[in-house]
Structure 1
Amino acid sequence: MLEIILHLKLHFTENKKTTLLNNKYYLISFFLFLISFSGFSQSGTLKGVILDDGKNPIPNVNIKAGDRGTVTNDNGFFILKIPADQDVTVEFSHLSYKSIVATFNLKNGEDIEFHPVMKESVEQISTVVISSKKRKDVEGIVTLQPETIRLIPGANPGVENLLKTLPGVSSNNELSTQYSVRGGNYDENLVYVNGVEIYRPFLVRSGQQEGLSFINPAMVQNVDFSAGGFQAKYGDKLASVLDITYRKPYDFGISLDLSLLGGSLTAEAISKNTKLSGIVGLRYRNNSLFVNAQETETNYDPKFLDVQTQINYNFSHKFSVSFLGNASLNKYNYEPKTRQTNFGTLENPLALLVFYEGQEKDQYQTLFGALKGTYLLNDDVTLNLTASSYHTTESEYFDILAQYRLGEVNTNIGYEELGEVEFSEGIGGQLDHGRNDLDALITSIEHNGKYTLDNHDFEWSLKYTNEDIRDRLVEWEVIDSAGFSINPPGLDYFNDQPYSPYEGPLVAFQNVRAKNETTIQRLQAYLQWSKRTKIGDNDVWFNAGARVQNWTVSGVGIEKTTQTIVSPRAQFAIKPNWKKDMLFRIGGGIYSQAPFYRELRDSSGTVRPDVKAQKSFQVVVGHEYSFKMWDRPFKLTTEAFYKYLTDVNPYTVENVRIRYRATNNATAYAYGLDMRLNGEFVPGTESWFSFGYLKTQENIDDRGYIARPTDQRLQFAALFQDYVPNLPKLKMYLNLVYNTGLPGGSPSYADPYDYQNRLPDYKRADVGIQYVIVDQNETHTGWRKPFKYLSLGIEIFNVFDAQNSITNTWVRDVYSKRQYAIPNYLTPRVFNVTTSMKF
């Protein structure tokens, strides 16, 4: 700390001496203010971004000019002051790349940019061989390219859209950004942005209510994903880790993306002395294009808006500060009018006609901020301190009356009444009421660091989190059939009207009322060690670590409860010295997920503070084979996994809302096989094909094993990029997903041991066609000159118009007491127009 203070004092003194000569202040106003200072006297500034052959930034490149030096940051950016008016030799070196030597002669105060491309080179240091491209493969991490994320079409474009094409990742709702991984549910996935854990709204129950994902794809620099068996440095969740890094600008730029679904505007800049840089993204989305295409006629007025910013300031080459901020406002106004759903068989076609009254008004407002300080103590020690806060205020108000007719459909071709209901088998109504409010404030402070000693890496962290959640839940549902009230199935009094009079009490079919004020305090820590070395001629990598978490639940009317969990984890990888490029790895441990607020609240809305952490013993075995085909690179990745879970908290899934029992009365298991073949099927582009097999079951109260709600047996996905050979600026992108049906579609009150039905298979293909008018690698004149990049495109969602359903509406025939499952279909075929531009 003393060194920082002295450095700041000297810097201030030098600037003060040069104020009368050449110190000026510049203001750049585009969502952020950037201040620039004049350079040191008798020196010039060399700056830039160092890239590899794939145009990816290279961190930790050593840059030396005599007795001066620096290193590139995580985004490959560097800045170096060198003496003016003389030849200065600068060397760029990295263990995994060939060194570059260049000579510069700068004038006093001159700034120049130098962006070298380093060629990969595996060099032997002592007994260790290090190759940067293999590092994440060794750790079992999949890396996705930001450009691919922005180009691939999808109803919800972005990072999650691309994740759903990876093996082991599944989602049967294109309007949702949520996903399940290897048998886990939506709440079992970790998401980090710049090392800070990200939360999502609590009350969202439908995919069309979600709006925008937190992650802004236009700001993304790097995407790492692990589907299981991850290291101790990641948090206490059971399923997966998504680790996002936002980019740090090294130049001024503006990008704009527009479509019929909304748009995004991104601006980035850097100060003249490169100490201050920032990027701001503004997004707007409107799902009316999808919702209006569904079979329910509605008045739909959604407003999904967010603004994000990342600001970085380098006080010196050792100390820097960054700020990540987000503000989002999602408003969902929904007023259904009518609906007709045809179902049944060719011999017995049926239809459900529904007439609605009422509306739903939802609002989700979130604010998030994280301040991070990084201090490079020396070449071997890096220290970080991060403080963050997340605040969400959510309201969900609805009163919707649905009156229905269930009947036979006219199938006589040539009749004017073709397709209309001509005989009613059941009539009735349903009134849904809700007044739900939630206010949650989550604050945390964390210290983490890294120490490198020879080939050993030590990482540690200590984190404190306080969760203050205030929740009011008021929901009730009344159902009647032909004017007779239907009671919930749990009552002893059976309503046999109209055949016999009913004399029991009339109650709502569902009735939930609760008010909770809950506080959860968490103290978390981890320590892990990793090492790269050799065994014989084989490269190996070891990793071992453990996490510990202690949490206390308290609140108004809640008995104070404290619990502790420990999660040891380990990984091992070996790359044999074979002619064929192969890699083998194994990872696992005991993964424990401490309950979040949603897991503490049961179906009646009551908070149960004694809910234990769900525990999972996991083993993941992986193999990678890199080879060339058609003189182009390919890779086949195979992973087999097994999980055994104890203290399982059973739940049900309704669209995207999870309802827990808030008990730990089950055990479960999951096993499967994931495969992915990726490579340049078309020269210069990356495509892949994925296959996954999964089986997951649970045993509740020792009643026997049944399928879990996420038992997605088979999954096939493909992401394919192509272009016209004689017209390479005309490109095509295909996003194809096929998932077998999930267990579900049962009535919400149903006993899962009585209802083990499955929804139909999920089939979807999205196609995008894009024409690049201005390529950023070309020089243009005339009207194209202001553009660095410009493209126009069309997108076709659900090309084959597959009828996918997410849940069922259950309607009772008053005469036969039979219940019909009417599918709630997702979006049909939809067309979209897009344009992208950069300045």
Structure 2
Amino acid sequence: MRFPFLASLVACFLVLIPFLGTAQTSSDSLITARYEQAPLQTILSDLEKKTPLRFYYQSQWLQDIKVTAVFDRTPLPEVLRKSLEGTTLEFIQYHPFAIVIKPAGFVQPVLATKDSQGRPLNRVQVGSPQNASKAAKVTLRGRLVHSKTGEGVAGATVAVTAMKAGAMSDANGDYELSLPVGEHLVSYRVVGLMPEERIVALYNSGKVDVTLYENAVALNEVQINSERLTDQNVNSIEMGVNKLDMGVVRKMPTFMGEADVVKAVMLLPGVSSVGEGSGGFNVRGGSTDQNLVLMGGVPVYNPSHLFGFFSVFNPDAVQDVTLYRGGIPAQFGGRLSSVLDVKQKEGNKNKLTGKGALGPVTSRLVLEGPLGASKNTTFLVAGRVSYLDWFLKRLKDEQLRRSSASFYDITAQVNHQLGAKDKISIGGYYSSDAFGFTKDSLYNWQNIGASVKHTHTFSEKWVGSLSGVISKYSFEATDELASRASSFKNGLWSVEVKPELTYYAGKHQITAGFQGTRYEFQPGILAATSEESSVNGSALPYQQSMEGALYLSDEYTISPRWSAMVGLRFSSFWNIGPGDVYVYAPGETKRIRTIQDTLHFDAGQTIARYSGLEPRVSLKFSITENNSLKAGYQRMRQYIHLVSSTVGISPIDFWQTSNSFIQPQVGDQYSLGYFHNFLDNALEFSIEGYYKDIQNQLDYKEGADLWLNPAVEADLLAGKGRTYGAEVLLSKKSGRFTGWTSYTYARSQIKVASERPEEEINKGEWYSSNHDKPHTFNLVTAWQMNRRVALTSNFTYSTGRPTTAPIGQYLNDGRIIPIYGPRNQARIPDYHRLDLSLTIETNHKKDKKWEGRWNFSVSNVYGRKNAYSVFYRHEKFSVPKPYKLSVVGIPLPSISYEFKF
């Protein structure tokens, strides 16, 4: 490939190393060719046609060089060596796609002396020229820390542009990059902090730590994935993965002044919800319980405050958020649809700082800093409280004034550095909700979680960790009316241990580990709370289970164009005693009246056991540097189930273990995607298609009664599920106007067939699941109007969810009995909403002691009365008349003030 002299000179200027390079090419190409006095330029052009490589040189270096040779399935490096024999030239591979031909002893020019900000460049030397490594590449590693907090900066880009090489800093701020020996201009960048650059004279593997400082003016850019290289969209192996920086989330339009992690996630492609006022979210047509939600490694079984209007995550205590809806790593398991991994902040290492916000219905505060003069120990404490009761008491509606609603949560984190190689992290979380339509009926639910993690660095290549986690969810409903005074409770808790080991070896990153979890389920306890109560107490027995998994994964660069991420997980599940198992009459439908016997299992006995492999593989093929194809397959197993007759998460739902009758759900997902970057990576485009088969997906029988049912398996049916669709995403990352737009086509269907008509649904034909929403469109924009003012907007549209509608009615003893049509064959009206937000920064002084920001938001700007559900009014001699319930049917303005000191 011929290039103008200037382009060739720039390429050499940036990448040549100061020693003889005959590095083994990464290409596995075998060359068969015959050359008779062929010009060297002709040979190189021929090799470019036969391989994905490109050659860079100055034409005058190759003049008058002719080659006579015969090659028969000869490795490419040997072809080059033989072609250059007897010349003063040598070759070096500086990138999987590129080889430089240069004169031996060509002196590497001096790199620039100033960075992109005009500041003098610092030069760092690793090793010495006299003892320079003879290896083709050495390893540059280090840690990025925040200048104010001393915390590791996660998700920063570490790049050597000339080499087309880059890496991402991990959750601790550590990075690792493989480079040839020589001088390199290394850049360190992350959203919200000033970029840093270093000239690194790299002669041996070594470490370079860098401190990143805050921008005097931080632009309010909206990004889908701020933790990325500029071309990570194309070059990463992952697909179906999005990362959100909390700085982005806090600048988006808010509901009643509260920034919300889950609301931001629901604007990503492939993610939806069944409507306003419903807990949880749906990913690629899956149900809400098919999402594994982790807060600092702790599973959260109900991620919602106030029936989904707010999430349990305090935005000021969260570092970053990653959603895996495809390409789920092998270290995650137990759910079919997605993993939402929310990482907590570690705490400021340098000084005591605070951050908070005041809103119309909530306020929050975070304090963080070092403990002790050594700064080896840091802490973070975050609290959030609502005062909705004060708001409700000032409404005109009498019933609303008699209602109550409130929540609060507390997050705590302590980190201690035990020398250079050991670190201990301890975290805790507690949240509480209270809600009541009247003073007589009250609902309370809590999430409690705690974790401890010890990380040890064995060597530069080996890092291990050991984690322990406890999580508990509990719900209680109380009725204080004397005649029916009672208390109903349900919940579950889990305890988990997870040792993990990671090995870094050039083109490989291998992770292996074990995960063991013990569950205890409380399906339901009803007890009278006064002597006057007419309620008869009832209690379902506790259930216990254990889950274990071994996993191994490897991310590997196969060739310049092919990369792979391969994982294997083997999981096992035991439902253990004490417990009773009903024996139903053979050939009969499961009902209470068909129970013939009861089998009792003592404590520790295995009631039911399930196990299986969960392979995961992702492949990437680079078409060019700007576009690629990716494909993936993953199998997931889910052993615990949320039993509910509602479409969204409700506090009265309960978690159910797999047992002799309820088998684990198994999902196989296939995906294919095309990724393309435009305008020097300023625009990113992707389209992903997927198909997923699900075994043992649960639905309930007609007329099922799930509340305090001792034989709940008799009212549940297991069927087949399938989800499929396509996700299109276009995003703009830089400039004053940023944002993204996405369109998702998604179908979610179930088929429950049986030889017995009473154990099948819709006559055994496919029907839409409760969360089947074929069309979803999202538009997220941010306009940085000037240095202090930014305007952001969210618009979303989606097809209405399915519902079962009555098609007629009849009279029975004067009562109107509705006749319902096939399940989920009708739909509620389509959903659409526009939200706006205006953010005003108060000052931009570099050494300010107090930072403030006002946020003005309007949710549902044009007052769309979106239907949460549709009900029907039945009247004699009349067709059932539908009417809809709208949870938020008016524009909701809010103002909040955020501060930092």
Instruction: State the 1:728 CA deviation.
Output: 3.4
**Is the aligned partner of 1:516 residue 2:562?**
no
Aligned pairs (5 A) from 1:144-183: 144-155=244-255, 157-183=259-285
Q: Which amino acid aligns with 1:523?
A: E
Q: Deviation digits for residues 638-693 of structure 1, max 9, x if unmatched?
A: 11000112222115999xx999966453112111011111114x714541111000
Q: 2:674 is matched with which residue?
A: 623
Residues 383, 667 of structure 1: alpha-carbon distance in 2 compared, 3 angstrom cutoff: same
Q: 1:66 is matched with which residue?
A: none
Which one of the candidate residues 833, 854, 870 is aligned to 1:808? 870
Residues 376, 231 of structure 1: alpha-carbon distance in 2 compared, 3 angstrom cutoff: same
Q: 2:54 is matched with which residue?
A: none
Q: Which amino acid aligns with 2:386?
A: R
Q: Secondary structure at the match of 1:161?
A: helix
1:609 & 1:57 partners in 2: Cα distance?
41
1:447 & 1:603 partners in 2: Cα distance?
32
Aligned pairs (5 A) from 1:214-363: 214-248=312-346, 249-252=348-351, 253-271=353-371, 272-287=373-388, 297-299=399-401, 300-335=403-438, 359-363=440-444
Q: 2:521 is matched with which residue?
A: 469
Q: Secondary structure at the match of 2:640?
A: coil
Instruction: State the 1:605 CA deviation.
Output: 11
**Contact 1:211–1:304, Cα closer than 8 Å, also in 2:** no
Which one of the candidate residues 267, 278, 286 is aligned to 1:184? 286
**Contact 2:298–2:450, Cα closer than 8 Å, also in 1:** no
**Contact 1:513–1:605, Cα closer than 8 Å, also in 2:** no
Q: 1:706 is matched with which residue?
A: 767
Q: Deviation digits for residues 458-489 of structure 1, max 9, x if unmatched?
A: 2222222222233435699xxxxxxxxxxxxx
Can you give the 5+ residue segments of structure 1 that lack an aligned partner in the other structure? 1-45, 63-70, 79-89, 104-111, 119-129, 336-357, 401-430, 477-510
Q: 2:11 is matched with which residue?
A: none
Q: Which amino acid aligns with 1:216?
A: N
TM-score (norm 2): 0.64
Residues 179, 217 of structure 1: alpha-carbon distance in 2 compared, 3 angstrom cutoff: same
2:510 & 2:484 partners in 1: Cα distance?
55
Residues 209, 551 of structure 1: alpha-carbon distance in 2 compared, 3 angstrom cutoff: same
Instruction: State the 1:251 CA deviation.
Output: 3.5
Which one of the candidate residues 375, 385, 405 is aligned to 2:466? 385
**Contact 1:532–1:539, Cα closer than 8 Å, also in 2:** no
Instruction: State the 1:269 CA deviation.
Output: 0.7
Which one of the candidate residues 766, 781, 784 is aligned to 1:723? 784
Instruction: State the 1:544 CA deviation.
Output: 2.8
Residues 251, 746 of structure 1: alpha-carbon distance in 2 compared, 3 angstrom cutoff: farther
Q: Which amino acid aligns with 1:449?
A: L
Q: Deviation digits for residues 15-57 of structure 1, max 9, x if unmatched?
A: xxxxxxxxxxxxxxxxxxxxxxxxxxxxxxx997169xxx964
2:641 & 2:611 partners in 1: Cα distance?
14
Q: 2:212 is matched with which residue?
A: 115
Which one of the candidate residues 846, 857, 861 is aligned to 1:779? 846
**Contact 1:232–1:547, Cα closer than 8 Å, also in 2:** no
Residues 551, 608 of structure 1: alpha-carbon distance in 2 compared, 3 angstrom cutoff: closer
Q: Deviation digits for residues 290-314 of structure 1, max 9, x if unmatched?
A: 9988989512322210110111001
744-753 or 756-765, which deviates more: 744-753
**Is the aligned partner of 1:641 residue 2:708?**
no
1:632 & 1:462 partners in 2: Cα distance?
39
**Contact 1:512–1:604, Cα closer than 8 Å, also in 2:** no
Q: Which amino acid aligns with 1:709?
A: N
Instruction: State the 1:600 CA deviation.
Output: 13
1:568 & 1:606 partners in 2: Cα distance?
22
Residues 621, 589 of structure 1: alpha-carbon distance in 2 compared, 3 angstrom cutoff: same
Q: Which amino acid aligns with 1:395?
A: E
Residues 796, 697 of structure 1: alpha-carbon distance in 2 compared, 3 angstrom cutoff: same
**Is the aligned partner of 1:76 residue 2:76?**
no
Q: Secondary structure at the match of 2:316?
A: helix
Residues 317, 608 of structure 1: alpha-carbon distance in 2 compared, 3 angstrom cutoff: closer
Instruction: State the 1:162 CA deviation.
Output: 0.8
Q: Which amino acid aligns with 1:377?
A: F
Q: 2:107 is matched with which residue?
A: none
Q: 1:30 is matched with which residue?
A: none
**Is the aligned partner of 1:444 residue 2:500?**
no
Q: Which amino acid aligns with 1:707?
A: S
1:158 & 1:165 partners in 2: Cα distance?
12
**Is the aligned partner of 1:669 residue 2:722?**
yes
- The alignment-based identity, stated in percent, is 16
Q: 2:609 is matched with which residue?
A: 563
Residues 240, 562 of structure 1: alpha-carbon distance in 2 compared, 3 angstrom cutoff: same
Q: Which amino acid aligns with 2:496?
A: S
Q: 1:394 is matched with which residue?
A: 475
Q: Deviation digits for residues 716-768 of structure 1, max 9, x if unmatched?
A: 111111132xx331211112111111012658998672552211111111111
1:326 & 1:604 partners in 2: Cα distance?
21
**Is the aligned partner of 1:547 residue 2:570?**
yes
2:721 & 2:609 partners in 1: Cα distance?
22
**Contact 1:212–1:304, Cα closer than 8 Å, also in 2:** no
Instruction: State the 1:597 CA deviation.
Output: 6.2
2:396 & 2:265 partners in 1: Cα distance?
25
Residues 546, 791 of structure 1: alpha-carbon distance in 2 compared, 3 angstrom cutoff: same
Residues 137, 749 of structure 1: alpha-carbon distance in 2 compared, 3 angstrom cutoff: farther
2:404 & 2:562 partners in 1: Cα distance?
58
1:606 & 1:720 partners in 2: Cα distance?
41
Q: Deviation digits for residues 781-838 of structure 1, max 9, x if unmatched?
A: xxxx431x2111211111010011212344432x337544332111121111111111
TM-score (norm 1): 0.69
Which structure dedicates a bigger proportion of its chain to strand?
Answer: 1
**Contact 1:466–1:519, Cα closer than 8 Å, also in 2:** no
1:60 & 1:452 partners in 2: Cα distance?
18
Q: Secondary structure at the match of 2:249?
A: helix
Residues 607, 516 of structure 1: alpha-carbon distance in 2 compared, 3 angstrom cutoff: farther
2:613 & 2:494 partners in 1: Cα distance?
23
Residues 671, 281 of structure 1: alpha-carbon distance in 2 compared, 3 angstrom cutoff: same
Can you give the 5+ residue segments of structure 2 that lack an aligned partner in the other structure? 1-141, 160-167, 176-182, 190-194, 202-208, 216-228, 529-534, 582-599, 602-606, 647-651, 755-763, 807-816
**Contact 1:518–1:554, Cα closer than 8 Å, also in 2:** no
Q: Which amino acid aligns with 1:774?
A: N
Q: 1:592 is matched with which residue?
A: 637
Q: Secondary structure at the match of 2:365?
A: strand
Q: Deviation digits for residues 573-606 of structure 1, max 9, x if unmatched?
A: 3252625x11221111322211246489999999
Residues 270, 293 of structure 1: alpha-carbon distance in 2 compared, 3 angstrom cutoff: same
Instruction: State the 1:386 CA deviation.
Output: 1.2
Q: 2:699 is matched with which residue?
A: 650
1:833 & 1:606 partners in 2: Cα distance?
42
**Contact 2:296–2:342, Cα closer than 8 Å, also in 1:** yes
Q: Deviation digits for residues 389-442 of structure 1, max 9, x if unmatched?
A: 123332113589xxxxxxxxxxxxxxxxxxxxxxxxxxxxxx999842125332
Q: Which amino acid aligns with 1:589?
A: Q
Instruction: State the 1:194 CA deviation.
Output: 3.0
**Is the aligned partner of 1:678 residue 2:737?**
no
Count of matched residue positions in the alignment of Structure 1 and Structure 2: 648
Q: Deviation digits for residues 581-638 of structure 1, max 9, x if unmatched?
A: 112211113222112464899999998832001122210112211112xx77111121
Q: Which amino acid aligns with 1:257?
A: A
Q: Which amino acid aligns with 1:730?
A: V
